[in-house]
Structure 1
């Protein structure tokens, strides 16, 4: 992970390894920064380093860099899941831009996480939207960054002609069952489709981290950094 961190300039900074261990401990257990054990140093240092690195996109680059080196792209999968937003994250709505990416559904306030994984169910791309946003929006946003692959496995929530055509244009064969409302049934590889449970398992493992399962961060970039860090530690290290 060392090559992905900013280089130190001027006065030597606190040991990156110790600070990173503290950041991982806080995010995994869902603690306040002030509750960090003394072994990890000053809580203020942990938080400042976490915020600074998140703003620079360090953790997202770590996950994408590690995934580019070790992922298996013969088949890729796409899906989305809901992440509950705590009241501290949904208060004081942000003006301008894409906002805080928190929406209201039947389950309350939440954020939707869209993900693309490799053949083993390890995440390689993430995209966040408000909870009420359609899966098609996430699919459209992730489409341009899809790696070269033979197959795309997804559930019938992604059954759209434009998505199938876009995948074929990229040389990817869709393995997506058709919606029940279709006049003609869609053929797909049922044996290959059974592997789709791997992306569901991936979401479950990510939610083992408390600060991922429940969103406490108001800033979407910081929350996405928590997801990227969890993915890197769980799947790529």
Structure 2
């Protein structure tokens, strides 16, 4: 995935984020639940996209900054947050435009799985968060890859692409699968300690029509994997 890819379908992706199962009723409420009380905390929304998570964190009392590689996504974020919003174009694969230990917490929701190499990005996220601060991560669940692609090598870091219909538009997203041990090894190497691993169910207020018919109410399903990490 490149910034230009997201520029091409920014509005469709943002519309899907507003009401779709995976973002509105799964990833976003799960991250907010794991973040807990954020009142007064300075939080960096890494890969903030069009800003729905930034808005939710701000509504909970956090002081939020955000960045994304897509300028079109950030235009939508400014529409949500206001023209004075602290959002800017930046890429996790390059040095970030923030000071050392500038943030109490960082959230990286559904962003790391677009990257082949986590070494530099995690080092930068560790640099900008205070010692004892948190990195809250949501990524594609590695076991879901093994289920969908049973012939693939689960233990290999592998690029793959999938098509999704978003607001009536078909878009292709390209991800990097990595096995669980590769994720946890990368976190440790960057100076993070795993505090929580979560596989939650959808939010209680998820409309029934969005859920698979065979999924009982309140039942978890294989989709994303969530981590709370502490900066050592």
What is the TM-score with the length of structure 2 in the denominator?
Answer: 0.26
Structure number with greater Rg is: 1
Higher RCO structure, 1 or 2 (CA under 8 Å, sep 6+): 1
Return the structure number with greater strand share. 2
